[in-house]
Amino acid sequence: MTEIKDSVLAFEGVNGKNRKFRLKNVNFRMEPGYIYCIIGENGAGKTTLMRCIMDEYARYKGNIYFEGTDIRGRHSELMEHIGVVSEDNVFFEDRTCIQNVNMLKMLYKNLDMDRFEAIMKKMNMQEGMTYKKMSRGEKVKFQLAFAFSHGSRLYLMDEATAGMDPVFRIDFFDILRTLIRDEMCTVLMTTHNTDEIRKQTDYYAVMDNGQLGEFRESSSMGKA
C-alpha cells in the first residue's frame, strides 16, 4: 500500500457528521496521476466526505492528509493547491468571471491569469459573464478554469458532470487527462453515471450509509 507521505490524499479512520449524513471509519490513499471516483446514492455521504476536505471548520475525528501533511492547522495554505468544482463552491454572484478571479487572486500565490484565460477560451466561455446568470454547466466550466489557474495538484469534483452537455463531457475528460499528463495532478470526483466511471476514470469505490468500500480499477467494473 502507498505510504501516506507518497499519497496525494489519504484518510485515516475518519468519522464525521454533516447535518444528518455521517462518515464511518473512512480509510483510503490516492496515488498521483489518476482519476478516482466515488459512487453512491444521495445521502450515502459523498458530499460529506468532500466537505471534510474543503471546509476548514468541518467536524470529524481521524486524520486527513494532503501530500503527507495533515490538513488541520494548515488548511488555507494547502487549499492553494487544491481545486474545487462543486455546487458548494462560493463565488461573488453579482460579479463577472474575470472580476471574481481578480478579487480572489490575492488568496492564491500561484494564480496565473494567462492559464485562466486559456482554459476559458478552450471551453468557449466569455469572461464577462455574471456568475449568477450562468447555467450549471457554465459554472462548472468557470470553476474548472479557476482551479486550473492556480496550479492545483488535486481536483475535487462533487457531481461535476451531472446535467453536463454530452458533447462538452467528452472535452471535459480530455481536459482532465491533459492536466494529469502535463502536471501530474490527481482528480477525486463523485458521479452516478456508471458508464462514465467505466470509460473515463481509473479507480472507483462505492459509498453506502457513510462507509466507503475499497478503490478498484474502473476497467473491471461490471465484469464477472
* CATH number of the domain that residue 207 is part of: 3.40.50.300
Confidence (pLDDT) at 17: 78
CB atoms near residue 137 (< 10 Å): 18
- Domain enclosing residue 186, as ranges: 4-86+151-214
Q: How many residues does the chain have?
A: 224
Asked whether 139 and 163 are in contact (CB, 8 A), the reply is no
Give the integer Cα–Cα distance in Å for 51 and 38: 14
Q: Nearest CA to 31 among 158, 161, 203, 151?
A: 203
Confidence (pLDDT) at 201: 92
Question: In this structure, is residue 117 part of a structural domain?
Answer: no
Asked whether 14 and 25 are in contact (CB, 8 A), the reply is yes
| The one-letter amino acid at 163 | G
Three cell numbers, residue 109: 500565490
3-class DSSP state of 48: helix
Asked whether 30 and 186 are in contact (CB, 8 A), the reply is yes
Question: In this structure, is residue 112 part of a structural domain?
Answer: no
Q: How many domains does the chain have?
A: 1
Confidence (pLDDT) at 221: 65
Confidence (pLDDT) at 62: 96
Question: In this structure, is residue 101 part of a structural domain?
Answer: no
Question: In this structure, is residue 103 part of a structural domain?
Answer: no
Question: In this structure, is residue 72 part of a structural domain?
Answer: yes
3-class DSSP state of 133: helix
Question: In this structure, is residue 108 part of a structural domain?
Answer: no
Question: In this structure, is residue 120 part of a structural domain?
Answer: no
Confidence (pLDDT) at 19: 67
pLDDT (tens, 9 = 90+) of the chain, 224 residues, equals: 567 878 999 999 999 877 677 899 999 999 999 999 999 888 889 989 999 999 999 999 999 999 999 999 899 999 999 999 988 888 999 999 999 999 998 888 889 999 999 989 988 899 999 999 998 888 988 999 999 999 899 999 998 887 777 778 888 888 889 888 988 899 999 987 777 777 889 999 999 999 999 999 997 665 54
- Cα–chain center distance at 96: 23
Question: In this structure, is residue 105 part of a structural domain?
Answer: no
